[in-house]
Amino acid sequence: MLNELPTFFDIKRYALHDGPQIRTTVFFKGCPLRCFWCHNPEGIGCGLEVVIVQERCIGCQECVHGCPEQALSWDGTAISRDDERCSLCLNCVEICPSLAHEAVGYQATIEEIVGEITKDQPFFDQSGGGVTFSGGEPLAQAEHLLMLLKRCGELEIHRCVDTSGYAETPILLEVAAHTDLFLFDLKHMDGGLHKKHTGVGNEQILHNLEVLSKNGVSVRIRFPLLASINDSAAHVEAMGRFLSGLGSIEHVDLLVYHDLAGAKYRKLKRPDLTDRAYSVTAEIVDRTRRLLEAHGLTVHLEK
């Protein structure tokens, strides 16, 4: 039964930015937050989606003829999809010769996913890397996540979970028992502004971070830095104070905002709110780093 299977949108091998060394990142689909700067918009919605990559279309119209719901049409230059009619049968994805129809999201069994992960086990063993579960929000599919974590644990694969931290604490703790390292996003210290920018408050998130820390779980903080959103000295100060009070923080990854995901938003027919105005200057990056370091934190810059 489909709904008993976890939903993913990608598995990326040789992922360079999702934890230590050479890793495979499994991206769960679906997230309770709505951060406008999200660079993986494919992970926002929890259901399957299907999109058109117009540049690839060769105009053969096979999909138009093959669509059982007559949801596709050709206007002489491009294909368009009537989302009301589309039943997500993915027939178009199947028949399109040029990969112009792309399914965003798919379902797979735990063993299929584990099979994909273990393909790169020789690289994990050699480098000290492993698997990272990211998203979307992996904790939103906690049962499946747990099964994957346990299977990977049995296979001696190092496990990271990349999370917004927005989940019920008992669930998080259960996941933590099978996780070697958390990549924990921290977006804003102010509850109101957090809600404004991400759609949810930060109380649960901050609480979870404290609990993880008390339990001695290894955590790396991921701090997406955006101009005028969370780059003020006062805000960074507040974050530094909070984090330095916790134990077990390995370091803080400073993620500098970029607007490269815009094309993906447009492809997904989601409002594209990316804007270069949110890009921070090198001086701000430097100041942020120094402010955090002043609290005894180790800061890594991801540019």
Q: Which residues bind another protein (CB under 8 A)?
A: 12-18, 21-22, 39-40, 55, 58, 60, 62, 97-99, 119-120, 122-123, 125-127, 129, 224, 253, 255-258, 260, 262-263, 302-303
**d(Cα 264, Cα 139) in Å, to the nearest integer?**
23
Closest C-alpha among 162, 107, 108 to residue 130: 162
Q: CB of residue 300 vs another protein: minimum separation in angstroms?
A: 9
The torsion defined by the Cα of 88, 92, 95 and 99, in degrees rounded to 10, comes to: -110
Pairing of strands 181-185, 158-163: parallel
Q: CB of residue 139 vs another protein: minimum separation in angstroms?
A: 20
Task: Count CA atoms within 13 Å of residue 284 on its CB side.
Answer: 21
Q: CB of residue 9 vs another protein: minimum separation in angstroms?
A: 14
Q: CB of residue 124 vs another protein: minimum separation in angstroms?
A: 9
Label residue 233 exposed, middle or buried (CB < 10 Å: 0-12, 13-18, 19+): exposed
- Given the complex with another protein, which of 112 and 210 has the nearer CB atom? 112
- Given the complex with another protein, which of 54 and 80 has the nearer CB atom? 54
- For 23, which DSSP code? E
End-to-end CA distance of the chain: 42
- Given the complex with another protein, which of 119 and 269 has the nearer CB atom? 119
Q: How many residues does the chain have?
A: 303
Task: Give SS3 for 124.
Answer: helix
Q: CB of residue 198 vs another protein: minimum separation in angstroms?
A: 17
- Given the complex with another protein, which of 173 and 268 has the nearer CB atom? 268
- Given the complex with another protein, which of 106 and 195 has the nearer CB atom? 106
Q: CB of residue 19 vs another protein: minimum separation in angstroms?
A: 11
- Given the complex with another protein, which of 129 and 213 has the nearer CB atom? 129
Q: Are 176 and 212 in contact (CB under 8 A)?
A: yes
